[in-house]
A and B are shown apart, each in its own frame.
Chain A
Amino acid sequence: MDFGFDEQQQEVRALARRILSEQVDARRLAAYDEYRQPRFDAALWQQLCGAGLVGVAAAQRHGGMGLGFTELALLVEEVGRSIAPLPVIAHCTAALAIQQFAADSLQEALLPAANTGKLLLSAALAEPRNEDPARPLAVRAQRDGDALVLSGSKRAVAFAAEADRILLAARVGDDVALVALDPRAPGVALSALQTTSFEPQCDIQLERVRVPAADVVCPSRGEDAMNWLAQRVTAAICAHQLGAADCAMRMAASYTSERRQFGVPVATFQAVGHRMADCYIDIECLRLTTYQAVSLLDSQQCALTEVQIAKIWAGDTGHRVSYATQHVHGGTGIDRDYPLWRYCLWLRHNEMTLGCSAAQVAALGQRLAVGEGLFS
């Protein structure tokens, strides 16, 4: 039993925090408000690659640091704390899935370049009205020799326009195939979306897109790989939520300690202090459930129950912290010249992405109903 982080993990966190706090601030984030440009800081991305952080969990044979998913989660938490305009979750989790499931030749083609920042990865996890990443319904594929020909649509793919390869699952008869799609291949059409968080996302339309055998990650049983990936993306979103919520809470704590009304700091009103104490408890719950899930995934253990529970907390905590911190700031909380509002966008983004609390509660409840997920 150890709730602490070892020296190496603390170093990863400190390095990430140092770079991100130097390179991200409200002024720079403002450059992406209202879709003025795609919310992707390419120079900072290269810096993070150069520092080895993008490949923190990638194997050394591909130029990664060879550390674990815990280290990646610590990085993601810092990205959440700074709400940096970076594709860390999309790229790093997709890279891990390729490392876990793709043939050596495809790994060698993609991963060394991915870890040095020459190649960007993402994954298509949703379809219209279908949020189960492992059960593609809207994209179908036909086999053409060892190649696959894909048609259909995926929804809200993060960094699709910036990515060089997108992990994408397709139905092949009763089976599921997983490919590393080149979004610039003939027959792929991207349409940009205006998301609430300003994250660059696109819908993808596929018209008889030919994916060569070399780019097929799993010709068959791709749902296992997608489930594996989805759990890691979900856990990473929880870590991002943790960083963002913690930052919003601390912003509110300092603001209310300075702001005076009735001749005293508003923090001294018990109702205000207690609302912040509730944020503190919620965030502690999110932290504990997230790092439990992360540490199980890190050691390749089954973590479905723990990931579902962490995402329930990510949804509930995000929602409550967002409105509590806005409220105790008064008007300042929603003033676009003050940094809190962007955090509220991300708390909402993370809450609703890959299964909101209600959906996770329903999924966990169904598993409990068949005898899974009880206490040992």
Chain B
Amino acid sequence: MNIQFSKEQLVLRDELRAYFAELMTPELSAECERDMGEGGGPLWREALYQMGRDGWIGVGWPESWGGRGLSPLEQFIFVEEVMRAGYPFPFLTTESVGPVLAEHGNAWIRAELVPKILRGELLIAIGYSEPGAGTDLASLRTSAVRDGDDWVINGQKMWTSLAHFCDYTWLAVRTDPDAPKKHRGISMFLVPHSDPGWSCTPVHTLGGVRTNATYYDNVRVSQDHLVGELNGGWKLITGQLNRERLSLINFGPVSQLFNQVTRWARTTELPAGGKVVDQPWVQQNLARCRALIECMKLIVYKQSWAMTVGQLEMADASAAKVYGSESFIEIYRMLGEVVGQAGLLRAGPGQPCPEAGRIERLYRTASIITFGGGANEIQRDIISAAGLWMPRASR
């Protein structure tokens, strides 16, 4: 038991912190802010190419996948630092779909697409959800039908985030409508957005984040674009979702926000005398947040360690997702109470406190990961079944 990074890992962290301090120019920060923390702008793209050229994107990937061959812990340090720097890193492409493609993709995917991911040149959206298929993902209806050597895809996806600037969608489709179990008739395709049958319309959300409805009207792809086995898509989906779950919970940005709000409370005067932090309830909120974030840190460290030694437990991954997503909401609430009225002001002119401006947005986006990435009810089902061996009702 030793919950500390090695000397080399701390050196890596410091190197990355310095690297991002330089990479995140004021212009790039402003562009990311304008894009509501989603990225996609020209400076954002250039920075991603840069990270690719500098060999950071696959720092913890095995060398056989084209990575640098360090462990998932180093990959984790990289992602924590890039997020901490305020760069909207396309982690769904690099951390969750990318590794699945490197592991299960055919020769063409591994030779053509995976290296592009590592160079920061290829972005992939995730197309699972449909208007009628959310938590019950296996009920999806978008279909792929064989036509000669090609596949023809028809249907509609919902909430296809980042699709408006991605190159491909990692698309779940039904390839066997007669499969005895609905999970068994699903396959995974990589669909290029350059196809004339592909289109997308925006969906705007509470947090200002744009997502999309995407449409597939006789989209035609070759057999090369099928990933893994025909009708074997469900395994890839759950594998990807496990990875996604881990990358949803970052403690870097929230620990930094905590430090900033605490500093603000210590230095900001109350008109009647004393500092904001002198109020007992403020101290209490800060201490409660400190305890929640500490645990988040330990949970994500443990996950990365478990991945490194190959001992990732299903119940623990689900516990991390539930704990992280619900703690974020509590933390943003309590820190929002500390900054008070400023927490109701958007970042920008008139907002006296940049952290408060961030909290104003964060409280609007915090709900997404309690139902996204596998609803927390499903995660709790997994915990009681896999962690406590409790029987559960059939669905």
Contact = CB atoms under 8 A, between A and B. Distances in A.
B293 A281 contact: no
Interface in A1-35: 1-5, 9
A198 interface: no
A280 B315 contact: yes
A285 B319 CA distance: 10
A375 B256 contact: yes
Contacts, number: 164
Contact of A274 (B5, B293, B377): B377
A292 B3 contact: yes
Contacts of A4: 1, 309
A309 B3 contact: no
Contacts of A306: 294
Interface string B382-395: 01110111111100
A330 interface: no
A224 B18 CA distance: 39
Interface in A343-376: 360-362, 364-366, 368-369, 371, 373-375
B284 A277 contact: no
Interface string A142-160: 0000000000000000000
B211 interface: no
A284 interface: yes
B299 A295 contact: no
Contacts of B295: 285, 288-289, 309, 313
A284 B327 CA distance: 14
Interface stretch (B161-169, B221-229, B258-266, B357-365): B258-266
Contact of A265 (B9, B304, B391): B391
Interface string A246-264: 0001100100110000001
Given A277-B380, A361-B287, A361-B288, A289 B298 contact: yes
Interface stretch (B59-67, B135-143, B275-283): B275-283
A273 B390 contact: yes
B4 interface: yes
Contact of B298 (A264, A288, A362): A288
A116 B37 CA distance: 63
Contacts of A313: 291, 295
Contact of B391 (A267, A277, A364, A374): A267
Contacts of A267: 384, 390-392
* Chain A interface category by residue count: 35 or more
B181 to A, nearest CB: 21
A273 B280 contact: no
Contacts of A45: none
A3 B1 contact: yes
A249 B388 CA distance: 9
A176 B3 CA distance: 34
Contact of B390 (A256, A291, A366): A256
A292 B301 CA distance: 12
B294 to A, nearest CB: 5
B173 interface: no
Contacts of B2: 1-2, 295
A371 B267 CA distance: 11
Contacts of B387: 277, 280
A70 interface: yes
A77 B383 CA distance: 22
B286 A365 contact: yes
A249 B389 CA distance: 12
Is chain A's binding surface mostly helix, strand, loop or mixed?
A: helix
Given A294-B1, A295-B1, A361 B73 contact: no
B302 interface: yes
Interface string B68-99: 00000100000000000000000000000000
Contacts of B371: none
Contact of A289 (B282, B294, B391): B294
Contact of A369 (B1, B5, B277, B304): B277
B255 interface: yes
B5 to A, nearest CB: 6
A373 B258 CA distance: 11
Contacts of B282: 365, 369
B3 A295 contact: yes
Nearest to A269: B393
A312 interface: yes
A50 B380 CA distance: 44
A368 B278 contact: no
Most buried by B among A249, A257, A294: A257
A256 B393 CA distance: 13
B269 to A, nearest CB: 14
Contacts of A292: 3, 298
A361 B379 CA distance: 29
A284 B280 contact: no
Nearest to A312: B291
Nearest to A301: B4
Contacts of B265: 369
B323 interface: yes
A369 B73 contact: no
Contacts of A369: 265-266, 277-278, 282-283, 286
A369 B278 CA distance: 7
Contacts of A270: 377, 380-381, 392-393
B388 A280 contact: yes
B267 to A, nearest CB: 10
B356 interface: no
A276 interface: yes
Contact of A291 (B1, B259, B277): B1
Contacts of B379: 277
A371 B277 CA distance: 10
Interface string B237-248: 000000000000
A4 B2 CA distance: 8
A70 to B, nearest CB: 6
Nearest to B394: A268
Given A1-B73, A368-B262, A273 B9 contact: no
Nearest to A367: B287
Nearest to A68: B1
B280 A365 contact: yes
B391 A281 contact: no
The 3 closest A-B pairs by CB, nearest first: A365-B283, A273-B384, A365-B287
15 contacts: A1-B301, A2-B305, A4-B309, A264-B393, A265-B391, A276-B384, A277-B319, A280-B319, A289-B294, A294-B1, A313-B291, A368-B290, A369-B266, A374-B263, A375-B256
Interface of B: 1-6, 9, 73, 255-256, 258-259, 262-263, 265-266, 277-278, 280, 282-284, 286-288, 290-291, 293-295, 297-299, 301-302, 304-306, 309, 315-316, 319, 322-323, 377, 379-381, 383-385, 387-393
